[in-house]
Amino acid sequence: MKVLIVGGGGREHAIAVSLKKSKRVDKLYCVPGNAGIAQIAECEPSIGVMEFEKIVAYAKEKAVDLVFVAPDDPLVGGLVDELEAAGLRAFGPRKNAAILEGSKAFSKDLMKKYNIPTAAYETFDDPEKALAYLETADMPIVLKADGLALGKGVLICNTLEEAKAGVKEIMLDKHFGSAGNRMVIEEYMTGREVSVLSFVDGKTIKTMTSAQDHKRAKDGDQGLNTGGMGTFSPSPFYTKEVDEFCKKYIYQATVDAMAAEGREFKGVIFFGLMLTPNGPRVLEYNARFGDPEAQVVLCRMKNDIVDVIDACIDGTLDSIDLEFEDNAAVCVVLASDGYPVSYEKGYVIKGLERFEQEENYYCFHAGTRLTDEGIVTNGGRVLGITAKGKDLKEARANAYAATEWVTFDNKYMRNDIGKAIDEA
Ligand code: AMP
Ligand code: GLY
């Protein structure tokens, strides 16, 4: 079969590698793609992920059998609905279900209504009311812009002054654009964070192996929030007890709640969990694979991904046993120095060939571009160097060793991805 992937980052490269491995896939396409994806798929860099008409036309022209919509923006914007309306088969939630990620106020209200454990909160449309609420609230406190904000619309405020400034930033100065027309103010929680991704067919949910991201730009979780600087999988903190709790109170409850609301969810639900002293709580939902979570999770999945996708679309996921390798993986993001604020692009990347010869090592491209000079840097996050190992320590040593194989000007990475595993 022929499959079109929508997206062009490290996550989409990992998805492309999994699809390429499938016995059922003959040909891969990707819009817009990147230089790494282009090694295994035909890419069309001129089509952006929000150009729905062009994507539909391209999918029809190439007569693809399946379209995999990977990023949040087109999912929340309703690309799956458009593809289906054009008679194409698509993987991902429709617009009315992708709201699970698209509106934090929606997801918080859903959790409250269906008793799914999460932080206490209030929603505000009016900045004056938000400011008045803060006067009597406990600090620290968490402010969240309602809509999509490139993963950056969350402010953790330690003092009343900071919180007031945050309300101004989100609702009045509109730092996150229209995402800040509405705001959630939420209780501050403490604990370890774990990401659990799952496949969902509308009724049945099957969780994948756990992972942990590192969102801050600098070592020791310092610096600004980024899209993610590295991941490891599985998380040693995601114990059997935690899994049992989440199975009982969170996973199926979320899928059932969406169905009860007439918003049947088919696709991937990403549960951002915090393991608080009072038990696991949902920090956030995403309606898609995480980036760079996909890089460490998919490379450990034993199933043919097309079988799982089909089961999600056809509502037969109960017949699938998801299986993961009994090992570990670590992904270290190589970024351009200065990310996430400002950085230069266009530097030649050397040493990529080595990954073609080594099993259990992957170089997932995020921001790269093919030019006459070769493959050059083309974004903040450039590559996701990923390696497997028999356990987390070995995987981490392998991944960091492989970061040395690649060179480019202004190469930057965190040196402590997976350090938490030493405390496990
Ligand atoms: P989110 O985009 O909702 O996952 O938030 C981004 C990050 O902010 C999370 O990964 C947490 O580190 C932090 N965060 C979000 N909500 C809370 C909360 N209620 N308490 C403490 N930290 C939070
Ligand atoms: N790595 C976090 C995300 O994809 O949202």
Q: What is the pLDDT of residue 178?
A: 86
For residue 71, being part of any structural domain is answered with: yes
- 129-170 pLDDT, tens per residue? 999 999 999 999 999 999 888 767 889 999 999 999 999 989
- 61 C-alpha to center of ligand 2: Å? 32
Which ligand 1 atom is the nearest neighbour of the CA of 213?
A: 10
For residue 251, give its domain range.
192-319
| Ligand 1 neighbours by CB, cut-off 6 Å | 119, 142, 151, 154, 156, 186-189, 193, 215, 272, 283-284
Q: What is the pLDDT of residue 153?
A: 84
Pocket test for ligand 1, best of 158, 284, 293 (most atoms within 8 A of CB): 284
Domain count, the chain: 4
Q: Are 287 and 268 in contact (CB under 8 A)?
A: yes
Distances (CA, A) of 67 to 27, 56, 180, 389: 12, 9, 31, 32
Nearest partner of 217 among 363, 416, 81, judged by Cα: 416
For residues 154 and 255, which has the higher predicted lDDT (pLDDT)?
255
179 & 222 share domain: no
Q: What is the pLDDT of residue 278?
A: 94
301 & 212 share domain: yes
285 & 360 share domain: no
For residue 254, being part of any structural domain is answered with: yes
- 228 C-alpha to center of ligand 2: Å? 6
Q: Which of 260, 291, 319 is the C-terminal boundary of a domain? A: 319
How far apart (Å, rounded) are the C-alpha atoms in residues 194 and 235? 7
For residue 109, being part of any structural domain is answered with: no
305 & 198 share domain: yes
CATH number at residue 179: 3.30.1490.20
How far apart (Å, rounded) are the C-alpha atoms in residues 385 and 407? 12
Q: What is the pLDDT of residue 360?
A: 95
Q: Which ligand is nearest to the CA of 226?
A: 2
264 & 383 share domain: no
Q: Which ligand is nearest to the CA of 197?
A: 2
275 & 234 share domain: yes
8 & 62 share domain: yes
Strand partners, 156: 142
| pLDDT at position 77 over 80 | yes
Q: Whose CA is nearest to atom 2 of ligand 2?
A: 290
239 & 301 share domain: yes
- 150 C-alpha to center of ligand 1: Å? 14
How far apart (Å, rounded) are the C-alpha atoms in residues 297 and 394? 16
For residue 104, being part of any structural domain is answered with: no
Q: What is the pLDDT of residue 180?
A: 85
315 & 371 share domain: no
Q: What is the pLDDT of residue 390?
A: 97
- 297 C-alpha to center of ligand 1: Å? 22
For residue 158, being part of any structural domain is answered with: yes
For residue 100, being part of any structural domain is answered with: no
| pLDDT at position 423 over 90 | no
| Mean pLDDT score across all residues of the chain | 96
301 & 334 share domain: no
Q: What is the pLDDT of residue 246?
A: 98
For residue 221, being part of any structural domain is answered with: yes
Distances (CA, A) of 23 to 76, 115, 144, 303: 31, 42, 43, 11
- 220-229 pLDDT, tens per residue? 999 988 989 9
Pocket test for ligand 2, best of 293, 332, 381, 417 (most atoms within 8 A of CB): 293
Which ligand 2 atom is the nearest neighbour of the CA of 11?
A: 4
Q: Which of 256, 288, 319 is the C-terminal boundary of a domain? A: 319
Q: Which of 150, 167, 187 is the C-terminal boundary of a domain? A: 187
Strand partners, 205: 200
- 111-126 pLDDT, tens per residue? 999 999 999 999 999 9
210 & 292 share domain: yes
Q: Are 312 and 200 in contact (CB under 8 A)?
A: yes
Q: Are 320 and 307 in contact (CB under 8 A)?
A: yes
Strand partners, 387: 330, 361
153 & 57 share domain: no
Q: Are 133 and 139 in contact (CB under 8 A)?
A: no
| pLDDT at position 421 over 90 | no
CB of 212 sitting under 6 A from ligand 2: no
Q: What is the pLDDT of residue 89?
A: 98
Q: Whose CA is nearest to atom 9 of ligand 1?
A: 283
Which ligand 1 atom is the nearest neighbour of the CA of 119?
A: 19
CATH number at residue 53: 3.40.50.20
Q: What is the pLDDT of residue 424?
A: 77
Tokens 């730092």 -> residue? 175
CB of 151 sitting under 6 A from ligand 2: yes
Query: How confident is residue 294, by pLDDT bands cut at 50, 70 and 90?
Result: very high
Q: Give the other-Cβ count within 10 Å of 102's Cβ.
A: 23
For residue 111, being part of any structural domain is answered with: no
CATH number at residue 400: 3.90.600.10
Which ligand 1 atom is the nearest neighbour of the CA of 186?
A: 19
